[in-house]
Structure 1
Amino acid sequence: MAWRSRHLSHDARTMKLFTALKRHLFICLGNVMPMYGPFNRIRATMFRTAGMAIGAGVTIIGPLHLELSLNEETIRGISIGDNVYLNAGTRLACRNSRISIGDDVQVGPRVSFETATHDLVYEPDLGRGLEHQEIRVGDRVWIGAGATILPGVTIHEAAVIAAGAVVAKDVPAYTLVGGVPARKIKDIVPTAQRQGAIA
């Protein structure tokens, strides 16, 4: 009986190691592919095979920067909807947390999603502590180049984040925000409402 238990444990460890190697292999293959043409669609397939939840019609330009560990909870914590466009150098830091991106989202180059934060006060023998908070991005959001999305933020439907913004709090639907820290610039009026107002 003890031998059987050890044997099962060994098989489980072997399977876990094989899964980890597969995860690393497909993330690496996706990240070293050329940054043009059909490779930008194939890259999404590689990340999907590694274990990420990625919808249909996703385009990923260039490498994704992920947590260094590439552990299973990091990969499974990433959820990307249909028809999403991730430009080059997107960083998804979601160890021990989640990053969910809705459908039809456009993400500019060098955008960073950061789920980890620290306390302001340094405590002797404890440091600053570490906390993880989920990031949620609704459908049809556009995030401009070089923006940073901080822990716990929800960006609601069809909002726009200006290039270089640092988003530290939730963004309402149909709102343009920008700056450091990001503040509301204006409401976004959907085309149908603008046409109705003109008529």
Structure 2
Amino acid sequence: MQTRLDLYDNSEYNPGAGVVKRLSWFAINALFLQNPINLSSGIKVGLLRLFGAKVGHKVTIKPSVNIKYPWLLEIGNHVWIGEEVWIDNLIKVKIGNHVCISQGAMLLTGSHNYKVSTFDLITNEINLENGVWIGAKSVVCPGVTCHENSVLAVGSVATKHMEKNGIYQGNPAILKRQRVFN
């Protein structure tokens, strides 16, 4: 058996919006969110809300952020989204309160089934609960829940749920110790 991309068919996938809305968002995303100039977070939050995102208050969005579909995104209060973060939300992503997503981190809700020759699309939601910190250049894979106050260390890849107050590191990320607040 071999991969047959000529047989790939994602016609079953529904991005949750029509072509005009998606194309409009791609233009706005490129001009305002992916822009390396640090425009006001308020402008970015307003545009996300305009396109259907549920966004809390006191949210900071740094330059060069890429968000696939805002209508599939929920962001809580007091959230920081660092430079060059990529939220590839083909399906719902929920970000709780007081969450920090550091520079270059990726939240990936989609992948492909490598066990079939047609390379079928697989999607699964991501949930970052309150107080989570996703370290710089880290990756959160489809279907992962990062439970309250968990930490994903720099450059790590979360392929499984992260327990409350757990500090995870590596590829794949494993529990290293518990987060203790002073």
Give TM-score scaled by structure 2 length. Answer: 0.81
1:161 pairs with 2:152 = yes
The answer (yes or no) to whether the contact 2:51–2:71 under 8 Å persists in 1 is no
Identify the residue that residue 92 of structure 1 maps to in structure 2: 87
Q: 1:112 is matched with which residue: 106, 112, 119?
A: 106
- The alignment partner of 2:107 has SS state of strand
Deviations 1:147-182 (A, max 9, x none): 000000000000111000000000001010010110
Against the structure 1 CA distance between its residues 18 and 150, is the aligned structure 2 distance closer, same or farther, given a 3 Å change threshold?
closer
- Please provide the CA RMSD for this pair: 2.1
In structure 2, the residue matched to 1:40 is 41
Q: CA offsets per residue over residues 112-157 of structure 1, 9 Å max, x none?
A: 011112223242xxx2211100000000111110000000000000
Work out whether 1:186 is the aligned partner of 2:177: yes
**Greater RCO between the two (CA within 8 Å, min separation 6)?**
2
Counterpart secondary structure, 2:168:
strand
Q: Given the alignment of the two structures, is residue 146 of structure 1 paired with residue 137 of structure 2, yes or no?
A: yes
2:12 alignment partner in structure 1 = none
Q: Matches of 2:58 and 2:96 in 1, distance apart?
A: 13
Larger Rg, first or second structure (1 or 2): 1
Give yes or no for contact 2:45–2:55 (8 Å, CA) kept in 1: yes
What 5-or-longer segments of structure 1 have no aligned partner?
A: 1-15, 68-73, 192-199
Task: Please report the TM-score for the alignment, with normalisation by the length of structure 1.
Answer: 0.75
Counterpart AA for 1:34: I
Does residue 177 (structure 1) correspond to residue 168 (structure 2)? The answer is: yes
1:65 correspondence with 2:59: no
| Equivalence for 2:32 | 30
CA distance in 1, matches of 2:42, 2:53: 15
Which runs of no fewer than 5 residues in structure 2 stay unpaired?
1-17
- Answer 1 or 2: which has greater helix percent: 1
Q: 2:83, 2:102 within 8 Å by CA — same for their partners in 1?
A: yes
Contact 1:29 1:46 in 2 (8 A): no
